[in-house]
Structure 1
Amino acid sequence: MLSASMFGYSDKASAAPVLKSSSETAILVDGDTGKVLYQKKAEQVLPPASMSKMMTEYLVNEAIKKGKIKWDQKTAISTYAHKISQNRSLSNVPLRSDYKYSVKELYEAMAIYSANGASIALAELVGGSEEKFVKMMNDKAKQMGIKDARFVNCTGLNNNDLQGFDSVGSKTDENKMSAKSVGILAYKLINDYPEVLDIASIPTKWFRPNTDDKILMKNWNWMLPELVYGYKGVDGLKTGTTDSAGYAFAATAKRDGTRLISVLMKSDSYKGRFDETKKLLSYGFENYSKETLLPKGYELKNKKTLPVIQGKDKEVGIKTKEPVTMLVKNGEKENYKPVLVIDKKHLDKDGKLKAPLKKGEAIGHIELKYTGKEKDQGYLLNDGSGKGQASVVTTKAVEKANWFVLSMRSTGHFFGGVWDSAMDTVKGWF
């Protein structure tokens, strides 16, 4: 790795308040880059309850994107989905077994009102059965880089609440995830399908208006600006509550171009999860600022060019392809230093950059290393996805030299070495 400092000024940070969450586990991240701003026991695995439905939402949106289903497509309601939907002690909109509902209707009931019967109906449509859909959920979690999740149903209910219809796990099983994994799921959902926030942000809506089945769905996310604990900028995402999970909440808010995601699990009360979320989000918005740490076209000091072997030219210029903008704690901007990392595929066995190279070819990246006193919390995913770093590209093409040129260089190196040896010998005579 090659590194160089790019910041030549000093800016003392004012001490930020120490954040302490009363929830059992919590995490706060930058919604654009996945940079972790705060975490408390974030890898402790707990039941996520209805936050599980974010994975159901993801797979429904993915199926629509791939053309497997459509928003206006109608689907019948199975005995299973119908029976669960009649249980009003759970979150539900009662569904008719003799009626077909559109995907959009069911999705809105799931995303706004956390309707469990509607979730099952969507899972059966996309997967063919809930059992097959659950496999899709677990497979997708692994694809997302989530290692600790185990889904046994599409709703987040305890299997004991499924009235004998449970198809995966034991009779008392329920889904399990860590706060960090829920954060990854929320991050993937809103970045891959940002349109989900159009529905997640709806405070109230009638299900089946102008019919005998109409029900006013009030969003369980009471931090939406129009609702009881309204908080500026909140536009999602999903609450969760069961006896074993307690009160959980995955929230997202955007202010002045900055998006945050917070997740907490096992808060002490219904209101408490909103109070704790407000504390997390306010900490992020008040103590972090979006900064451009690397401009587009940035050149590392003392590394504006790199030597190239086997090329017609012996060196090539390099620069960043795009800027790097990320949330930085106030006063900490100077504590990020650029580090150059060259992709191994562009290096020979001795670690030297090799020709041929195209103009504008990405040969590696510059990542930003934190050098301050506080502990760097890292990212939700350290998978080289390009967040918090910039691609490094060549400023010109370097063709591979032909065998004659390479031979002449080798000969030149040989005779140069002989001449140097001879001169050393002559110097020894005097």
Structure 2
Amino acid sequence: MFWIEFILVIGAIFIGARLGGIGLGVMGGMGLIILTFVFGLQPTAPPVDVMLMIISVITAASCLQAAGGMDYLVSIAENILKKNPKRITFYAPLVTYTFTLFAGTGHVAYSVLPVIAEVATKTKVRPERPLSIAVIASQQAITASPISAATVALVALLSSQGIELIDILMICIPSTICGVLVGALSVNKMGKELEKDPEFIEKMKDPEFVKALFDEKSEKEETKTIDKKAKISVALFLFAAISVVFFGTFPELRPSWNIDGELIKLGMPATIEMVMLTIAALILITSKVNVKAVSNGTIFKAGSEAVIAIFGIAWMGDTFIKGNYEFISSGIENMVQSAPWTFAIALFIMSILLYSQAATIRALMPLGIALGIPYPFLIAMFPAVNGYFFIPNYPTVVAAIGFDRTGTTKIGKYVINHSFMRPGLVASFVAIAVGFGLAGILL
């Protein structure tokens, strides 16, 4: 029965991937209803905290975009990239990594991706190279960000064992940065040079394509003056990110209540949601943005699709894991007992199925703890939950493909032979390897 259910889950994911957009989420819902009504599995609780955290961060980021703050940030990123255009394959991932590290979500990379694509194209660098590793960097930074849902979930699981947020950060930040840099090196010569790419050469025969690609007017428009209110919105957003870091690093700053003799402290998910919604309100008030402009922005729309995707696919995957927990745990237990590092493989595979780092941590990390894997090793294996690039349908992946008008960033004929596979595998492997080394030294 397990294998039939497994094929069902994989089938729902592949069909959802082909549909694109909200397809993954609705196919996850269809798979869930079959698992529940046909196979009799009891559905788990939907990933509400993860969705609410994403919604709150996306709301704040969308207000930032509507206020012009995202344009200001993009202009800063653009200046960095344009100063060293030939090194864009290394600078682009560092930019998206930094954005995600402080925002707690990889969705903030959306507005940087078109800049990366444009700068690469105009300097004759194959856009596939910087775009692919930039997307992977935004995913790796999730497991280094103190305010991401995945990190919060891991802290919650390991805090009872004396592990604090700072223990996770001092291993995962340097390990993921190393992974990103080596990943960038691995794609630095990936594919043919842009001017020799057959598809690009064919597109350059179209005058309309050439005009749209190298429109001088658009360049002049990009040099517009940044409004003071946009800078204020950026300051507010950065203040929100810093505040969340402090609340996560110093739990005593969060309020607590004595309920039936038990001291209950405000959790990080609720803290992040409150802070981000408050900052979104302050941005709206100070910038006097039309509220409709917030929901019409690209970040809000893309974020909404991500929430629906995670809603359906994570709920289905979580239900499948819990319904077959004994079968899966027995197989993993035998593997882990002989080689503890192989638990990283299980995390990687499950992240592909669950389509969420936080959902993967919640589903499998308790098993790792129960199997007696040393906590420093579990932290070192944290970046393994970034495997959802394997199936190229995550919103940032799809966005990167769409922004590359040259057509070099793409999904291959066999789906998994896509532009993000090489940098994703390299970055993940290096991050985990470096993490194990740091865990042995620091913890």
Scaled to the shorter chain, the TM-score interval is: under 0.3
Give 1 or 2 for the bigger CA radius of gyration. Answer: 1
Give the number of the structure whose residues are more often strand, by fraction: 1
TM-score, with structure 2 as normaliser: 0.24
